[in-house]
Structure formats: structure tokens, C-alpha cells
Chains A and B, each alone.
Chain A
Amino acid sequence: MMSTTTTPTPAPAPKTNHIGLSVLDYRGGKTTLCAGCGHNAITERIIDAMYEMGVQPENLAKLSGIGCSSKTPAYFVNRAHGFNSVHGRMPSVATGVALANHKLMVLGISGDGDTASIGIGQFVHLMRRNLPIIYLIEDNGVYGLTKGQFSATADLGSRLKTGVINDLPAIDTCALAIQLGATFVARSFSGDKKQLLTLLKAAIAHRGTVMIDIISPCTTFNDHEGSTKSYKYSKDHDEPVQELGFVPVFENIEVDYDPGTTATVRMHDGSALRLTKLNRDYDATSKVAALHLLAESHAKGEMLTGVFYVNTTTPSFIEQLNLGGESLAKLPEAVVRPSKQALDAIMEELR
């Protein structure tokens, strides 16, 4: 029978993550980008990933260069220090930050112009060093802020609204990153919520340079028929290399997977990245296989997404520099200024 009395339900406690923060603690300012911009979806996934992974907001440093993509660090994790730097030069600033304080989680947001044109020099050298930095390219193939010129990741034959056809080959930032030494390289699509979120969580668990190229359509300047970076084209051509699963270390879930179809990569923090076979046999721990796969996909005109390369054994730049537990920025005077005896001994040598 039905009860006529209603018991007042208490307001549900806000859902919190394993460090006791709610998703609101990871929010940023209101976006000023165009409605429907792929970058806004990426911002949402970053917030989800940080929340789900329980990243301490104050321990994050978010950096960017210049461009639409580079505005986005203002739209997530307000409780983190942010730095909107110089066009194409975020890698060097991020490098300085990571060296000064290697306990920070350093997240760099860039775009295709900021990375592949003006910033290609700093980008390739960042990839070589394998610093613990997460580098995201919000890739739409055009310069948005200057009203729609092609960038260097625009595909050969892609067409602008104005009818201009791109007659130069695209730079594949993933192939570059793999060749040069990045240790976690992936491509995703802003419209694929699940894949992107999984990739970002794995990126947070990785200790080394992460490079994720995220196809992120520009609704204003590059979302038309003839563009190879439009929503429609990307949805139609997105071909995941594998199905991704991620089990963070704090969830402590052990599930047996068939080793014939699923490879498990143990991340630096103990989390597990699961790569489940789809249409092809692919070993994401092989650099040669990764470069072969990308070269093949160019020939076929495929838009592959997923983890192309992951390597959790190469030492990071911080280890190569032999830095200790305390960050350089926090070392006290007694540690960084040698003694009077040391100076006197040096002077004696010079007499």
C-alpha cells in the first residue's frame, strides 16, 4: 500500500574524491571560447580527470602559450597557479617550473599553431628531455584568434571556408614526440569523452613527458564540408587503436584479463593502464611499431586515436639531473651557499 506521509530527505552530501574534494574544487573561470568549441569539452575532461585522480589542486601548475587553446587554463582548477606565457614558448617556461619544483604536477596546454609552427623548436626539445610534464595539443588545424588561417597540422588537401586548399603536408606531432623521446604519446578526439578521460587519468599517473594530440574542432573556422578537422569528419574517421581501461592505484581492483587480448601497463604510481585489442595486433611499448603504425595511417588517410607509445622505464630528466627529494625552489640558504672555507680554498687555488 502507498504511504501518504513523506519523509524529508536530507540534501545529499556532495560527492567527493579520495582526498575529500568535490568536483567544484577543480572548476575554473567561465569559458570565453565559442559555443561548441572542442576545447571546452577538453577542459571538462581535464576537470574530471583531476577530480577522479584526486590531484591536490594547489599542487598543479598549469601553463600555456598563446592562442584559443592557451586561454583554457583559466577555465579549470582555479586553486592552481596558472601561467599564460609567450606564443610557442610554453615548453621552456614549463621546463623551468618543473626544474624549480619537481614536486609539482606540470600541465602545459598548447594548440596546433602554438606547437607545430612558432613553437616547433621548443616542442621538439621538450620531448627529448622526458621531463615529467603533461603536454596537450588542442588541435583544430587553424588559427582561431586571427580568424582562420591554416596551421601546420592541417591535412594536405583540407579546405578553408574561403575555399583555400592546404597544399602542404601536415606535421604529425605524435610521430615527432615518439621519435624524440616522449614516453607517453597518444591521440584523441574532444568528442570521445571516455577515451580522452582515460588517457588523461593515465597521463596523471605517468612520470615522464606525456604528449597527447587532441583533435578539437573549431566550430567557427574549421567545421565545414571539406575540412578534415570538423566534427563530422572526425567522428566518421576516428579509429581507435585499442580500447582503453584505467585502474587508479587507490582503487585497488584486481581483475584478470586475457593476456592474449589485453596488455596491462603498470604506471609509475602503481595504477594500471589496460590496452585491449580491437581490429589489429599492436604493441604500444614498441617505438618502431608506433612509428610504423603512424606512417601507415598517413598513407591510408586514417585518423587513428589511442595510446601509440608508452614507456615507463626510461628515467626522467629529474632523475638524470640527480635532484634530491626537496625541490630546488625550497632549498635553504645553508644548502645553496657553500661555506666560507670553500671560498677560501678556491681563493688559495687561484693565488
Chain B
Amino acid sequence: MATVDLGVQERAAQVSTDSRKVNDFSIQVATVNGSGSQSANTVLLRSIFQMGIPISGKNLFPSNIAGLPTWYTIRASKHGYIARKKEIDFVVAMNAETAQEDVMSLGAGAACVYDEPLNLSGLRKDIAFYPVPFDKLVGPVCPEAKLRRLVKNMIYVGVVDALLGIDIEESEKALAKQFSTKKKAAELNKAAVRAGYDYALATFTKQDPFFVERMNENQGKIIIDGNAAAALGCMFAGVTVVTWYPITPSSSLVEQLIDYLKEHRIGPDGKATFAVVQAEDELAAVGMVLGAGWAGARSMTSTSGPGISLMAEFVGLGYYAELPGVIFDIQRVGPSTGLPTRTMQGDVLSCAFLSHGDTKHILLLPCSVEECFTMAMDAFDLAEKFQTPVFVLSDLDLGMNNWMAHPFQYPEKPLNRGKVLDDEDLKRLGGFARYKDVDGDGIPYRTLPGTTHPGGAYFTRGSGHNEKAQYSERADDYVRNMDRLARKFETARSFVPAPVREIARSSKIGIIAYGTSHWALVESCDQLRKEHNLQVDYLRLRAYPFNQDVHEFIKDHDCIYVVEQNRDAQMFQLLKLDVDADQIIKLRSVLHYNGLPIDARSVTDAIISQQTPAQKGQ
């Protein structure tokens, strides 16, 4: 038969050159969780990455150990767009349960590789089908029957390599990295990739327009997930006490931190320079963080929404008694248990004001793995400088997915341990008042337990206290203290990471976004310009409290879209509380809250639909 004689790549010429889609499409692999598909997907992602094409990978997985549907999406983009792409162009259908829906949801012109017995080819006429007999192919390469279920997935890597023109040697290189400590597994999987590759070359005629061609965009870049990046940041911030309670999607932050600490933080005497405690719950985890912070350690915990809710009382103590501590919130979909394995920016308001009474907290908002690294270090400095709990609001998309990045830069600034008086200081000063605003910035001086000067001790409490940390229910003491705390928060405005003017084209229309929404925004701004001739300026928030730049950006624009991933426009509400009353009317809201990472198309459509006819003509 003719189809057997000709390779897929030779047939590629048959796809007319003007309809070819090179390095600009998304691949979705639909499998069952617990089937080992994660390794195959990582190899596929790395193969394209190694060919120099900008990529992103997003894992859409269930809250389950094994047996439920899971999807992995890889986007290749020669433009460098790494947000989720709304449309799927190329699907690998391995899961019988979802295969039909996976195919029916594709757009016309898409492609589908599927497990032959699923018999999907009859479903649609407008997409390219490539049936692969995975079970028949896996037998010869994997004699051990019980391993076949896992190795089977690696076959689709070879099939996709052949169909898209991915150099199989890149997949072999990626495999060697993936299984660097397991030689036998590496060999087995290599044979599986090859079997898929050879089968596809020998069997298929290329019918779809998607191609991978080498670029040179990834020179020197790394691939890392946000939780690992944050863990590195914590280690290089000099964290000494780590407490946690396992919760998706934050567990991998501490787990990876433990691995890093074990490797890099054992002293020459063989002793650990850190303590990690898996606590009984999040209340205890944050209690330990604050106790350790009070006693002078750099302490942190990592959690997600349900843990934040539990920490509320303690965080109020941290605010009022002025105790340093770092809390990572890898946000997932709430309320309640919500969708534990889906992403959201849903804890902005609850973290900003966590606890009863008048409380407000510093929030850091990383958008990238680089910022997970740098803001982890910022968070410890700020927590000790301002003697207060500091939140780092990452999310599931950032924390658990792999992202490309430039290698992280070694920190240049020394650690900022804040206003701590030691014995020498106390000898000079004769004593101190724990909650007195000596410098006018609202930040008082503290001492650590164990300070030997007899004037060094003070009594910390969550109840009312005066400047000398004595119990007080006096109205004037209470008001003076609360006003100082407010002043301290004002000071923080100019010390937290400043917002970034990502796009400045002197437009009258502005966009404000933060965190992982950034990647959709970059792409959406291009879409607005190219498709709608709409120029916009874009400011990316990096922290709360907002600094003066945020206010100026709002003043400088007639209309500002605040884009975020929650239902209740939480950052929009926070901005409304902060800006002048006459500015509030300028603010509009664009929301995305279906649990999937925000995509550019949704943002573009939402902005265009809110533009008045006159604005659309701009």
C-alpha cells in the first residue's frame, strides 16, 4: 500500500504551505489519572522546549488518586504566548470515558490521535484522525505485562513526534533526563517512543496543518513549577522554621523545600540549620510560625484556601501583637472544599483582611516562577521589617504547572532582619518600649527571648496593650496603638514590590491585572490591538497595599478594566476601597472563574463587549 511506503514528513508537503500552522497550536492529552501519563507529557513538553519553541504545560487533574479523567495541555507558541489557549488543536484521546466529548469539543480542522479500539473516526468529518493500536504496539517493547499500562502512554509521544515533526532525539534526551536514576525504565520507555514513532511514520498520511519547527527562543532557559521556585526562594531567604499541613495544591512547595534543605542546609558539623514540622492542622502550623517568628526565626507555612480560613484567628494575633511570619497561599477554587485541583485568585479579600476586628495584611502577588523565587525572599524581609504576617498569593496554575524561565539570579541584598535590639543596644538605651513609634514610621523595636539585658523582656499579648506592652483597656492606649498600626501599613506601601507598567502606549484605556492573569493579558493586549485596533495600557499589580503608582495609573486613564480570576471582583473591590471616590466610576471588572486558567480570548471578548461604540472606534 502506498501509505506504508511514504513517511508522514514526506507527505507533509501535501499540506499546502499557506495553511501550515507552525509552532502555534495546543496539544491536549486525555488520559486516566494514575496511569503514568505525567511522565509521557513531561517528555513531550521538554521535547518541544528543547527545539527552542516557547511552550507552556497545564495539568487539568481530578482530586483523586487513580482512575478519573485527566487532561494535559501543551501550548507551543512562536509568539511566546504561554497562557492557556482556549481552543484545542491536537488531541491525544487515551481515555474511553471522555474520548467522545474530547473529540466533539474540537474545532473544525483539528487533529486527533486515539487508541484504536475507541473507534472515533466516524464521529466527525472535519478533523484528522490517527488511530493507533497501542495495546498491539506495547507488547513487543514491554515484555512485562504489569508495566504495559504505564509504558503504553510513552508510545503516543513517538506518534506525536512523527506527526508534528518533533525530532525523536529530543524526546530521547528528555526521557534520559526524566528517568536519569532509572536506567531500565529509561530503556523501556525509549523503545516505546520509537515504536510509536515508527508506526506513525509507516502508517499515516499527514492530514492536519500542525508542525513543530526548530526555533532558538529557549537558550539557557530552565523549566520549573512555581512551588519549587517558591521553595528555592524560601531556602535562599534563609528560612529556619517550616511548618505545614498537607493540602492541594500547596503540599509540593514544602515537599520540594524539604528536599532542597536536606541537600543544601546541613552544616559542616552535620547538623540541620532548619526545622520542618508537619503540624496537626493549619491552626497549629501558623501558631508555630508565629511562635518561631517571635523568638527570632525566619518561619513560614504553606497552605491553600481552607487552611487560610483556619488560620484567621492566629493571623489577627500576628497583626496585633506584631509577629513576623510568611504564609504562602497556593490558591485553589473555593468556597469550602470547592474544586481542589482547579485554579483561582479567590483569596485576595479574605487574606487582605483575615481575622476579626480591624486587620489588614501585606499581600505579594507573583505572576511567574521568577517572582515565586524573588517574592519568597521579599516576603521574609517584609515580615521581619514590618513585624507582621505576610502572604504570598500564588495559585494552582502557577504552583503546580511547569513554566519556562530564565535561570534565577542570586540575591544581591543581604537579609533584612528588621528592628531588633540586642544586648549592646539595650545597654546603650537603658531599656525600650515594645510598641513605641520611635522612628515615626509606625514600626516599633523588638527584642528576642533570650536577650540577657534585664530591660529586654516584654510581655506579648493579643489583648489591649500600651506602648510598654502592658495590659491596657484604656481608650487612648487602644486608639494610639491602632493608629500606629495603620501608619505602619502606610509605610509598607513604599516597601512592597512596586507595580509594573507592562504596556505603556499613552492610551486612555487601562488594564489592571495581577498574578497568573498576566500571561493572558499580554496576549489579549495584542489581540485588542491587532483585531480591534484598540490600544491599551497595562499595569500589573505586585502587592497590597497599593503604592502611589497604582493611584496615578488610575488617574491617568478614563476607563480601567480590572481583570482577575474570581467571581466577586475581589481586587476591584480592594481598589475601590483605596482610590479617591471620584476615580471609582472609572473602574470596570473582567472576571474569569470556571477553574481553568484564564485565557486571552475570554479577556479580549469581555473587554470588547464592555466598550461603548465610541470607545470601540478608538
The 4 A-B pairs of least Cβ separation, nearest first, read A96-B291, A92-B287, A329-B296, A324-B271
How would residues 299 to 332 of chain B score, 1 for a CB under 8 Å from any chain A CB and 0 otherwise? 1000000000000011001000000000000000
Of residues 445 to 472 in B, which have CB atoms within 8 Å of A's CB atoms?
447-454, 456-463, 471
Contact residues in B for A73 (Cβ distance below 8 Å):
459
B238, B296, B313, B458: the one contacting A101 at CB < 8 Å is B296
Binary contact readout B123-145 vs A (1 if CB under 8 angstroms, 0 otherwise): 00000000000000000000000
| Extra A-B contacts (18), CB below 8 Å, given A328-B297, A343-B410 | A74-B471, A81-B460, A84-B460, A84-B463, A86-B313, A89-B287, A91-B287, A93-B287, A97-B449, A100-B294, A121-B283, A122-B283, A322-B272, A329-B297, A329-B448, A333-B238, A333-B415, A350-B407
> A2 within 8 Å of B by Cβ?
no
Q: Measured between C-beta atoms, what is the minimum distance from A218 to chain B in Å?
A: 21
**Min CB–CB distance A17 → chain B (angstroms):** 16
Contact A61 B295 (CB under 8 A): yes
Say yes or no for A212: interface residue by CB 8 A criterion.
no
Q: B220 — nearest CB in chain A belongs to which residue?
A: A351
21 CB-based A-B contacts, threshold 8 Å: A61-B449, A82-B459, A85-B287, A85-B291, A89-B314, A92-B287, A97-B291, A99-B288, A100-B295, A101-B295, A101-B296, A125-B280, A322-B271, A324-B269, A324-B271, A324-B273, A328-B275, A328-B292, A338-B265, A343-B236, A350-B223
**Which residues of chain B come closer than 8 Å to A346, judged between CB atoms?**
232, 260
Q: Which of A49-67 contact B (CB under 8 A)?
A: 56-59, 61, 63
* Cβ contact within 8 Å between B414 and A100: no
A249 to B502, CA, bound (A): 68
| Band of interface residues on B | 35 or more
Q: Would you call B293 an interface residue if the criterion is a C-beta within 8 Å of the partner chain's C-beta atoms?
A: yes
- A324: nearest residue on chain B (CB-CB)? B271
Contact between chains at B241 and A328 (CB < 8 Å): yes
Q: Is there a chain B Cβ closer than 8 Å to A331's Cβ?
A: yes
Distance to closest chain A CB from B257 (angstroms):
13
Q: Are B291 and A84 touching (Cβ within 8 A)?
A: no
Q: Which of B285, B295, B317 has the most CB of A within 10 A?
A: B295
Q: Is A1 an interface residue (CB 8 A)?
A: no
Interface of chain A, main secondary structure = helix
From known contacts A86-B317, A86-B462, infer whether A100 and B287 are also in contact, taking CB-CB under 8 Å: no
Across-interface contacts of A80 in B (CB, < 8 A): 449, 457
Please name the residue on chain B nearest to A92 by beta carbon: B287
Q: Is the CB of A59 within 8 A of B460?
A: no
Beta-carbon nearest neighbor of B236 in chain A: A337
Is A321 engaged at the interface, CB distance under 8 Å to the other chain?
yes
State the CA gap A264–B293 with chains docked (Å).
Answer: 39
Q: How far is the CB of B274 from chain A (nearest CB, A)?
A: 7
Task: Tell yes or no: B152 within 8 A of A by CB.
Answer: no
User: Contact at A79–B235, with CB atoms within 8 Å?
Assistant: no
Beta-carbon contact of B236 and A89 below 8 Å: no
Chain B residue numbers with a CB within 8 Å of A124 are 280
**B272 and A330 within 8 A (CB):** no
Could you mark each residue 388-423 of chain B with 1 if its beta carbon is under 8 Å from any beta carbon of chain A, else 0? Answer: 000000000000000000011011001100000000
How far is A129 from B278 in the complex, measured between Cα atoms in Å? Answer: 11
Chain A residues with CB below 8 A from B617, complex form: none
* CB within 8 Å for A85 and B275 given contacts A93-B291, A100-B299, A122-B284: no
- For residue A22, CB closer than 8 A to chain B, the reply is no
Q: How large is the interface on A (under 10, 10 to 19, 20 to 34, 35 or more residues)?
A: 35 or more
Q: Tell me if B551 counts as interface (CB < 8 A to partner A).
A: no
| Residues of the B chain whose Cβ atoms lie less than 8 Å from the Cβ of A335 | 267, 273
Residues in chain B near residue A63, CB distance under 8 A: 291
Tell me whether A78 is interfacial, beta carbon within 8 Å: yes
Are A84 and B462 in contact, with the CB atoms below 8 A? yes
Question: Which residues of chain B are within 8 angstroms of A84 by Cβ–Cβ distance?
Answer: 459-463
> CB of B385 within 8 A of chain A?
no
**B243 contacts A by Cβ under 8 Å:** yes
What CA separation (Å) do A8 and B214 show in the bound complex?
Answer: 104
Is A154 part of the contact surface with B, judged by Cβ < 8 Å? no
B289 interface residue per 8 A CB criterion: yes
Partner of A338, one of B264, B290, B414, B453: B264
What is the chain B residue whose CB lies nearest that of A59? B450
Interface: B281 (CB within 8 A): yes
Given the complex of chains A and B, what is the CA–CA distance between A324 and B240 in angstroms?
Answer: 12
| In-complex Cβ contact of A104 among B273, B415, B450 (8 A) | B450
How many angstroms from the CA of A80 to the CA of B415 in the assembled complex? 28
Chain B positions 354 through 369: 1 when the CB is less than 8 Å from some CB of chain A, otherwise 0: 0000000000000000
Q: CA–CA, A328 to B287, complex, Å? A: 17
A83-B294 in contact (CB<8A): yes
The complex places the Cα of A344 from the Cα of B281 at a distance, in Å, of 35
Beyond A86-B317, A328-B241, whether A100 also contacts B271 by CB under 8 A is no
Tell me if B150 counts as interface (CB < 8 A to partner A). Answer: no
Q: Is the C-beta of B482 less than 8 angstroms from some C-beta in chain A?
A: no
**List of A residues within 8 angstroms of B450 by Cβ:** 58-59, 61, 81, 101, 103-104, 327, 329
Looking at the complex, which one of A59, A74, A95, A327 makes contact with B291 (CB distance below 8 Å)?
A95
Q: Is B279 an interface residue (CB 8 A)?
A: yes
- Asked if A324 and B291 make an inter-chain contact with CB atoms under 8 angstroms apart, the answer reads no
Residues from chain B with Cβ under 8 Å of A343 in the complex: 232, 236, 408, 410
Judge if A323 is at the interface, Cβ distance under 8 Å.
Answer: yes
CB of A299 within 8 A of chain B?
no
The proximity string for A residues 83-123 relative to B, scoring 1 for CB distances below 8 Å and 0 otherwise, is 11110010111111101110110000000000000000110
Q: A81-B460, A100-B297, A324-B267 are in contact. Are A58 and B452 (CB under 8 A)?
A: yes
Q: Please state if A92 and B291 are interface contacts (CB–CB under 8 Å).
A: yes
Q: How far is the CA of A114 from the CA of B241 in the complex (A)?
A: 25
